[in-house]
Structure 1
Amino acid sequence: MIVSLAEFRAMVTWSTVLMGCGAGLVIAMVTSPVGVSGAVFLLPVQLSVLGVPNPAVTPTNLLYNVVAGPGALYRYWRAGQLHGSLTRVLIWGTLPGVVLGAVIRVFAIPGPEVFRVIVAAVLLPLGLWLCVRTFWVAKIQPARGLSVRSIRALAFVVGTVGGIYGIGGGSLLGPILVGRGMPVAKVAPAALATTFVTSFAGVLAYSVMSLTATGEIAPNWMVGLSCGIGGLVGGYFGARLQPRMPERALRLVLGMLAVALAVMYIL
């Protein structure tokens, strides 16, 4: 059977939407219970399967966070997990950081290779430590937590990094705060809320810059929206699954995700 060019394009479009939805659903269902959006795990799918060009991958990931985030956040809000002070501290610390990061990006930014090495150097030992501590410690004792001032400063730094490099903050904030002894059930909703805020600001920034800059730096709207719709559903069910998972299992998942993120940044 001979397929016309218009029919072929329609098939490619629908296959892209279906694959994007499926990938977003599965990834969000696994990562949302521990406060990680999972956007970085979409990179291989976007580059190798969905054909998103490399410069546009970052804003497309941010668009995924914006569309997918409300699914898990709504579930956490209904469960009363978004009303805590930690969410407010992280968001108000992140917002000025995002603005500063956007300014830094315009005038002077280090190379992305340096950023990847730094993030991997932070996430890899944190992830390994969480995994080892979960396996080998019979009863996990809460470590000494961070002060509100320290948490706000950490959120500001993460927001600045998000403004410069266009990443959500949950993948960084989650392992650090849980590693300091906070329960995953408390950290996950606040980390996802922070990711949503930084991603929304990032999408706006990249969309504005695409109007004047050369190259494909605007998000791929079809891929971002299709992955995000899948993530919207997967994030809701992942957040609904979280109360049924013991703290030890959540810490282990978060540690394994941190190690996987570090390896992806290195490679």
Structure 2
Amino acid sequence: MDWGAGLAGFAAGLWIAVVTAPVGVSGAVFLLPVQLSVFAVPSPAVTPTNLLYNVVAGPGALLRYRRSGALHGPLVRRLVLGTLPGVVIGAVIRVFAIPGPAVFKALVAVFLLPLGLWLITRTLLPPRRPRRSGEAGPPPRAVTGLAVIVGIVGGIYGIGGGSLLGPVLVGRGMPVAKVAPAALAATFATSVVGAATYALLALGGSGSIAPHWFLGLACGLGGLIGGYLGARLQPYLPDKALRLLLGMLAVGVGALYAAETVS
């Protein structure tokens, strides 16, 4: 991996994080097709490389959210505690049961396309009866269960989980300003544990299991700066605009993977 590829990875991580950090998405879900198609990172090494990106990039946005006090509260704890065991399970599944990305792309397309369209429609045409404050969001047990499932998906494909957690929780009525820092905190914790799990599995396995360190660090450094800038932008963006952005990101990723699955 030469320095030109490193600079390209840095630029990709920077711009992706600027756009995705305000809505609680690390950007790894967008970086995954770049790594597969542009940098030709083999499977399953692309998964821990993406997780490494999250580890390096995550503190940028989290530092900004911590300064504003947004990282306190039960939602952060539920998401982190749910995703941590899930990512270990997902890493083991990825190494020993799912060698390629084809199934992942199809599943992400099936999940994110309708979810993004639903979130956009819900934002543009809100329900007539407004929710009471106690009704917003799914029950705590449902949030924890969702976090475990997302942790498994993140462990298999290295997408962190914010791109999945964000649209679901926001679509169920939670404000973006509350969901974004919690989803990013869960993504960061999941990525640290996931990357360490892959490193341990690489010691006793064969093939491309370990992350591509140079590319992952280069992308992550770009994401570190971009995540901080994106988190700074969030307070200046209206909640409706953030919801639409999250919905469009979900539709964009879903459509991209659907096209790659069909082709």
The equivalent residue for 2:209 is: 217
The equivalent residue for 2:223 is: 231
The equivalent residue for 2:65 is: 76
The equivalent residue for 1:25 is: 14
**Structure 1 position 104, deviation (Å):** 4.7
**Structure 1 position 103, deviation (Å):** 4.9
Q: Hey, what's the Cα distance between the residues in 2 that align with 1:36 and 1:203?
A: 18
Quote the RMSD (CA, aligned, Å). Answer: 2.4
Q: Hey, what's the Cα distance between the residues in 2 that align with 1:222 and 1:182?
A: 37
**Structure 1 position 105, deviation (Å):** 5.0
The answer to whether the Cα contact below 8 Å between 2:32 and 2:159 also exists between their aligned partners in 1 is no
User: Pick from 170, 178, 181: which aligns with 2:173?
Assistant: 181
Q: Say if 2:191 is the partner of 1:193.
A: no
CA deviations on 1:121-147 (whole Å, 9 max, x unpaired) are 222111001112323449894574211
The answer to whether the Cα contact below 8 Å between 1:134 and 1:140 also exists between their aligned partners in 2 is no
User: Matched residue of 1:211: which SS?
Assistant: helix
The answer to whether the Cα contact below 8 Å between 2:44 and 2:94 also exists between their aligned partners in 1 is no
Q: Hey, what's the Cα distance between the residues in 1 that align with 2:103 and 2:27?
A: 22
User: Pick from 235, 241, 247: which aligns with 1:249?
Assistant: 241
Q: Hey, what's the Cα distance between the residues in 2 that align with 1:254 and 1:119?
A: 15
Q: Hey, what's the Cα distance between the residues in 2 that align with 1:116 and 1:181?
A: 27
User: Pick from 102, 110, 127: which aligns with 2:116?
Assistant: 127
| Structure with the greater alpha carbon radius of gyration | 1
CA gap 1:165/1:52 in 2 versus in 1, 3 angstroms: closer
**Structure 1 position 194, deviation (Å):** 0.8
User: Pick from 84, 89, 100: which aligns with 1:100?
Assistant: 89
CA gap 1:127/1:227 in 2 versus in 1, 3 angstroms: same
Q: Hey, what's the Cα distance between the residues in 1 that align with 2:3 and 2:149?
A: 40
The equivalent residue for 1:3 is: none
CA gap 1:244/1:194 in 2 versus in 1, 3 angstroms: same
User: Matched residue of 1:210: which SS?
Assistant: helix
The unaligned stretches of length 5 or more in structure 2 are none
Moved runs in structure 1, 4+ residues, more than 6 A?
none
The answer to whether the Cα contact below 8 Å between 2:78 and 2:143 also exists between their aligned partners in 1 is yes
**Structure 1 position 197, deviation (Å):** 1.4
CA gap 1:104/1:224 in 2 versus in 1, 3 angstroms: closer
The equivalent residue for 1:160 is: 152
The unaligned stretches of length 5 or more in structure 1 are 1-11
- Residue type at the aligned position of 2:203: L
